[in-house]
Amino acid sequence: MIFLMGMAITMLLNSCIASFFSYKEVEKISYSEFMQRAAEGKVESVVIDETDRVIYIYPSDQDADKDKVEVYYTGIVTSDTELTSRMEDYGVDMDAEIPKKDSPIVNFILNWVILPLLVFWLLSMVMRKAAKGMGGMGPMGGLGGMGKSRAKEYVPEGSKITFKDVAGQDEAKDSLMEIVDYLNNPGKYRDIGAKLPKGALLVGPPGTGKTLLAKAVAGEAGVPFFSLAGSDFVEMFVGMGASRVRDLFKQAEAKAPCIVFIDEIDAIGKSRDNQLGSNDEREQTLNQLLTEMDGFDESKAVVILAATNRPEVLDKALRRPGRFDRTISVTQPDKQGRIDILKVHSRKVKMDETVDLDAIALATSGASGADLANIVNEAALRAVRMNRRVINQEDLFESVEVIIAGQQRKNHIMSRDEREIVAFHEIGHALVAAKQKNTQPIQKITIIPRTSGALGYTMQMPEEERFLMKKSEMLEELVTLLGGRAAEEVQFGNITTGASNDIEKATDLARKMVTMYGMSDEFGMMGLELPGSQYMDGRPVKTCADETMVKADEIVRQILEKAYQQAVAILRENQIILQKSAGFLLDKETITGQEFMEFIQGTEDESPVPLTE
Ligand code: ADP
Ligand code: MG
Ligand code: ZN
């Protein structure tokens, strides 16, 4: 960007300079006027410039306008071959410009090296000034400048964040608490000869509270806390990042004991040995960071905290002892953790007595702290929309669905036909789930479209939090996932595009059973794939030969086919209930799991399933 700007300005300057030097332009006159003036004796001398095809006309003392005009010019008229003799007659002194023969190299250097450098230097001066100006503003204060670190001394003000604001994550908190304690009472540790870890790396999925924990450390520490993001080091200029690192450590040492926090450190800490597009700047920055971490004075209590959700891409050298020697895992919250997080966030809002955070926590398995904070806030917004002063359970549940499926699309009009297909599809899922033993209970079925594009959905909820899944349960889950499509076929003898998400999920599950969980007879205990990324959902990495994968694909297909046939069989057997409950759903648009179970119970009682085959 800056480089481009430099170029643009240079080019402008070039053309300006050209015009400055080649024309001693003051006033243009016509050739005839020139002849007339020469005849009247108003011309002292002329200089003919063949290169630029200009005649410069210097007025004589007789010219009345002489004081105003220093030189006139006009074009060369080639057909006027008698110019020379006429000038002689008028007594005008004639001369010709000697064509400029400046060396192209000098020209090049002048225009493309010296000038750009000059412009660059000017620009950088301006930027430096600007950066300094900005640094002075804002409550955090900053040190601007190009090679200066952008670390901000983070001063928690007003309502400071403490460990109380971080729910769950007890192990992470203990680990951090120890560091804080060391910084406050170093003597206690030194007496016994214990050394503090130089660096601690917070790792965990996005939104689990890594940044929040670091802020809490700042709030608890009672020592200076420098905070900056990995991307702050990344600059276009090679060497700038490294110089920022150097500067950061200089600052930190001056303020010791203190904590330096580098958020999203993967921006600079990526492994250096990936061949694809090596990045000099990043490598230099990383090298500098490694050197500084090794080099700085151990007696000075400076702790480097860093956070990342992609620990697997970090350079191994960063994590060796003596650098980030402690890894603090920040985990996806379990049910109790989710209850605690919901409690922390509900302190800030008003809730009525219908609210049951347990139920919300149960329904949000897999949600991160950030999701939960978002759910509470959405619920508050919904309460306001509904003109209520407090949040109730319905608000919370609805916002869980908003987070999962998007907002309701109230004015999305579907044809009678399509609504019917959607109703059968959703009841297909629900009925197949209800007719199997190990499935999760149905929570809700709806055919109100959502902004996410879902035309309807069936929500299932576990009775308790689960950490393991049995093979039998996974197989039944597959049947449930494919129940929607099966219902379309059983009822209409035709299928729609509506099952694409189900197919995606089912294929993913079946594939993992074969390639990762060792659940196929054909491959047994052999793993064929590794998860691509620990915390982010990346593509799995294949660890087997291509031909093996071809076989695995075939096994996955068979598993899915079998599950689908099973779903079709269940629905054929219960087609009357399928039809009746689809009608019920069409009528009500949204039904709870309980209503659904009661409805199919009632239907079965009045018309028992005929024992076919
Ligand atoms: P990340 O791990 O991606 O850095 P953040 O620390 O930025 O996540 O968390 C985002 C938000 O989620 C926080 O500001 C907070 O509101 C909420 N949050 C996450 N984890 C927790 C937690 N354990 N307790 C309370 N709030 C949390
Ligand atoms: Mg973060
Ligand atoms: Zn479906």
Q: Which bound ligand lies closest to the C-alpha atom of 229?
A: 2
The number of domains in the chain is: 4
What are the tens digits of pLDDT across the range 161-208?
889 899 988 999 999 998 888 888 888 888 888 877 788 999 999 999
What are the tens digits of pLDDT across the range 466-510?
789 999 999 999 999 999 999 999 999 999 999 999 999 999 999
Instruction: Name the least confident of 59-68, 96-105, 158-167, 306-315.
Output: 96-105
Alpha carbon distance 410, 472 (integer Å):
39
**Phi/psi of residue 192, nearest 5 degrees:** -85, -10
Between the CA of residue 542 and those of 343, 522, 528, what are the distances in Å? 42, 17, 6
Degrees to nearest 5, angle at CA 559 with 556 and 560? 90
- Say how many Å lie between the CA of residue 525 and the centre of ligand 1: 38
- Say how many Å lie between the CA of residue 413 and the centre of ligand 3: 20
Q: Which residue in 536, 482, 544 sits closest to 509, CA to CA?
A: 482
Atom of ligand 1 nearest to the CA of 340: 24
Measuring from atom 15 of ligand 1, which residue has the nearest CA? 370
* 495 and 348, same domain (yes or no): no
Q: Which residue in 470, 447, 468 sits closest to 458, CA to CA?
A: 447
Q: Which of 283, 420, 426, 489 is catalytic?
A: 426
* CATH number of the domain that residue 191 is part of: 3.40.50.300
424 membership: H or E segment, kind and range: helix 416-434
Measuring from atom 27 of ligand 1, which residue has the nearest CA? 369
What are the tens digits of pLDDT across the range 7-29?
333 333 333 333 333 444 477 88
Q: Which bound ligand lies closest to the C-alpha atom of 377?
A: 1
pLDDT of residue 16: 33
- Maximum C-alpha span of the chain: 130
- Report the pLDDT averaged over residues 443-472: 86
Q: Which bound ligand lies closest to the C-alpha atom of 488?
A: 3
**pLDDT grade for 342, boundaries at 50, 70 and 90:** very high
Any alpha helices (H) in 141-265, and if so which ranges?
170-184, 186-192, 210-221, 240-255
- Say how many Å lie between the CA of residue 306 and the centre of ligand 2: 10
- 368 domain-assigned: yes
* 429 and 575, same domain (yes or no): yes
Please list the helix, strand and coil fractions of the chain in percent, rounded to the nearest 5, in that order: 55, 10, 35
Q: Which residue in 263, 335, 322, 267 sits closest to 291, CA to CA?
A: 322
Measuring from atom 25 of ligand 1, which residue has the nearest CA? 166
- 127 domain-assigned: no
42: Cβ contacts below 8 Å, ≥ 6 apart: 59, 60, 62, 63
Residue 241, classed as helix, strand or coil, is helix
* 498 and 527, same domain (yes or no): yes
Question: What is the tally of helices (H) and strands (E) in the chain?
Answer: 21, 16
Atom of ligand 1 nearest to the CA of 370: 12
Q: Which residue in 25, 20, 79, 81 sits closest to 55, CA to CA?
A: 25
- 346 domain-assigned: yes
- Report the pLDDT averaged over residues 537-561: 92
- Say how many Å lie between the CA of residue 456 and the centre of ligand 3: 8
* CATH number of the domain that residue 389 is part of: 1.10.8.60
If phi > 0 it is left, if psi is from -120 to 50 it is alpha, else beta; for residue 94 that is beta
pTM of the predicted protein model: 0.68
pLDDT of residue 72: 83
pLDDT of residue 586: 94
Quick check: 419 and 447 in contact, CB under 8 A? yes
Question: Counting every residue, how long is the chain?
Answer: 613
More confident position, 126 or 435: 435
Quick check: 523 and 514 in contact, CB under 8 A? yes
Indicate the residue among 314, 329, 344 that finishes a domain: 329
Q: Ligand 1: which of 161, 208, 328, 347 to mutate, judged by most atoms within 8 Å of the beta carbon? A: 208
pLDDT of residue 233: 75
Indicate the residue among 359, 379, 405 that finishes a domain: 405
* 179 and 259, same domain (yes or no): yes
* 568 and 496, same domain (yes or no): yes
Q: Which bound ligand lies closest to the C-alpha atom of 161?
A: 1
Q: Which of 57-61, 134-138, 501-505 reaches the highest mean pLDDT? A: 501-505
Residue 225 has pLDDT above 90, yes or no: no
Residue 103 has pLDDT above 70, yes or no: no
pLDDT of residue 235: 64
- 139 domain-assigned: no
Work out the mean pLDDT of the chain and round it to a whole number.
81
Measuring from atom 11 of ligand 1, which residue has the nearest CA? 370
- 123 domain-assigned: no
Atom of ligand 1 nearest to the CA of 215: 6
Identify residue 140 by its one-letter amino acid code.
M
Q: Which of 157-161, 400-404, 424-428 reaches the highest mean pLDDT? A: 424-428
- Report the pLDDT averaged over residues 410-438: 91
Alpha carbon distance 541, 515 (integer Å):
11
Tell me whether residue 488 is one of the annotated catalytic residues.
no
More confident position, 53 or 587: 587
Measuring from atom 18 of ligand 1, which residue has the nearest CA? 369
Domain that holds residue 441: 416-601
- Say how many Å lie between the CA of residue 517 and the centre of ligand 2: 31
Alpha carbon distance 90, 232 (integer Å):
75
- Say how many Å lie between the CA of residue 482 and the centre of ligand 3: 7
**Phi/psi of residue 426, nearest 5 degrees:** -65, -45
* 161 and 181, same domain (yes or no): yes
- 178 domain-assigned: yes
Tell me which residues have their CB closer than 6 angstroms to ligand 1: 166-169, 204, 206-212, 307, 341, 344, 369-370, 373
- Report the pLDDT averaged over residues 44-54: 81
Instruction: Name the least confident of 81-85, 147-151, 317-321, 530-534.
Output: 147-151
Residue 209 has pLDDT above 70, yes or no: yes
Alpha carbon distance 73, 55 (integer Å):
5
